[in-house]
Structure 1
Amino acid sequence: MILMHDYPLKMVEHEGFRDFTRSLQPLFKPISRTTARRDIMSMYEIGRASLLIMLGKVQGRIAITSDMWTANNQKRGYMTVTSHFIDDSWQLQSRLLRFMYVSCPHNAKNLSTALMNSLLDWNVDKKLSTLILDNCSTNNSMIDILLGRLSPSSLIMNGRLFNMRCAVHILNLIVKSGLDVIEFGIEMIHDSVAF
């Protein structure tokens, strides 16, 4: 429930929650947030082990998407790493491998180190097909660093197809540029509708 609904861990110590669980089952022994955290971490470790086994059984290649963003008010950077692969049943699977904090500065060296550590941690560095990133100049440099650290023989066409541009990001840039061109007209229509 805590994971499913993103409730805070301290919820298990709230008096209202304890009254609710007591009304359902008077013999239920309340747990602490430390116990809840330990149980969640245990669930994570079981899920991680299961995903490691699944990734180990993948016969084909694994595509990776990664995105980086910075929280405006804190200047803290976060990166996600997601795997995409076809399983034994020929079903497309997508699994979040990592959601992590990346320390400043958010340059190509730090980003490539964080991403490479994730690839190594999940044992997918030898099964990569492509890496899909947005069109940031830092990402171009990051790709060069990663290609230097990965074995070219393990990549398709020695890594010439390794970097794929994110089509959604490109489409977003096109739409923003188009909306900038017609912004004045949209404002006039908005004003006339409001009038």
Structure 2
Amino acid sequence: MRSYKGEVIGYAIESCLLKWSLENVCTITVDNASNNDTAVVYLKKKYCKKLSCILGGEFMHMRCCAHILNFVVKDGLSDVRDSIAKIRGAVKYIRSSPARAEIFKKCVEQERITSKRSLCLDVPTR
């Protein structure tokens, strides 16, 4: 079993950087997991001693913008959580029966909705 402790992650990154002969590091972009915080602290201690860190490693830890944006969107959507749950329930209900899906399709045609896309359930991690 692999260990995902921060020091192990930091050591793995350090090994790759050395193997690839990357001598100047400005930033390392990772998500907000605490083990990544520990990994970057490890890298600052180890890597900046052996090689040179740009700006002394001051900006080495860059958080993933997509991860941060995901948090912002989730927080914003929490205000409409009940409405989203009702929409998900309706989509599941319609998709669980071919007869209901056909009725929904007729309603779409009746309302002259031109989209050819079908109902789909969202995936929370995407």
TM over 0.5: yes
Q: How far apart, in 1, do the equivalents of 2:59 and 2:29 lie?
A: 11
Structure 1 residue runs of 4 or more that deviate by more than 4 Å after TM superposition: 192-195
Which residue matches 1:168? 66
Q: Which runs of 5 or more residues in structure 2 are unaligned?
A: 95-103, 105-126
Distance 1:118 1:181 in 2: 43
Match of 2:13 in 1: 115
Q: Write 1 or 2 for the structure with the bigger share of strand.
A: 1
Please report how far the alpha carbon of residue 156 of structure 1 lies from its aligned counterpart in structure 2 after TM superposition. 1.9
Match runs of 1:52-131 below 5 Å = 104-124=2-22, 126-131=23-28
| Counterpart secondary structure, 2:27 | strand
Asked which structure has the greater RCO (Cα within 8 Å, sep 6+), the reply is 2
Q: Normalising by structure 1, what TM-score? A: 0.42
What is the CA deviation profile of residues 164-194 of structure 1, one whole-angstrom value per residue up to 9, with x for unaligned ones?
1111110011212323331211233453995
Two-structure CA RMSD over aligned residues (Å):
2.4
- What is the distance in 2 between the residues matched to 1:189 and 1:147? 47
**1:150 is aligned to 2:52:** no
What is the TM-score when the length of structure 2 is the normalising length? 0.62
1:131-150 equivalence runs, <5 A: 131-150=28-47
Contact 2:26 2:55 in 1 (8 A): no
Which residue in the other structure is 1:184 paired with?
Answer: 82
Q: How many residues align?
A: 92
Q: How far apart, in 2, do the equivalents of 1:108 and 1:188 lie?
A: 40
Quote the residue 2:100 is aligned against.
none
2:116 corresponds to? none
After superposition, the C-alpha distances for 1:127-172 in whole angstroms (9 at most, x for unaligned) are 2111111111111111111011112672222111111111111001
Query: AA paired with 1:146?
Result: L
Q: Name the CA distance, whole Å, in 2 between partners of 1:143 and 1:117.
A: 14
Once the two structures are TM-superposed, the CA of residue 105 in structure 1 deviates from its matched residue by 1.9
Among all aligned residue pairs of Structure 1 and Structure 2, give the percentage whose two residues are the same amino acid: 29
Q: How far apart, CA to CA, are the structure 1 residues paired with 2:77 and 2:48?
A: 43
DSSP-derived class of the 2:28 partner: strand
Structure 1: where are the runs of 5+ without partners?
Answer: 1-102
